[in-house]
Amino acid sequence: MNTVKEISVVLPTEMVAVIRGVVASGEFASSIEVVQDAVDAWGVDAL
């Protein structure tokens, strides 16, 4: 079972706008899903 940890991240306004835009479009359900997908795309999910 994976352990979940919470962190806080500061992003440039433009990145926040992109994240909010894809959530608003319905492509993702939440900003958390956007960030998780981006990290998975790095291939870090195998850690």
What would the pLDDT profile of 2-46 be if each residue is shown by its tens digit? 788 999 999 999 999 999 999 999 999 999 999 999 988 888 655
User: Who contacts 37 (Cβ-Cβ below 8 Å, separation ≥6)?
Assistant: 28
Rounded to an integer, what distance in angstroms lies between the CA atom of residue 9 and that of residue 1? Answer: 25
Collapsing DSSP states into helix, strand and coil, what is residue 16?
A: helix
Rounded to an integer, what distance in angstroms lies between the CA atom of residue 44 and that of residue 12? Answer: 23
Rounded to an integer, what distance in angstroms lies between the CA atom of residue 30 and that of residue 44? Answer: 20
Q: What is the pLDDT of residue 43?
A: 84
- The model carries a pTM of 0.77
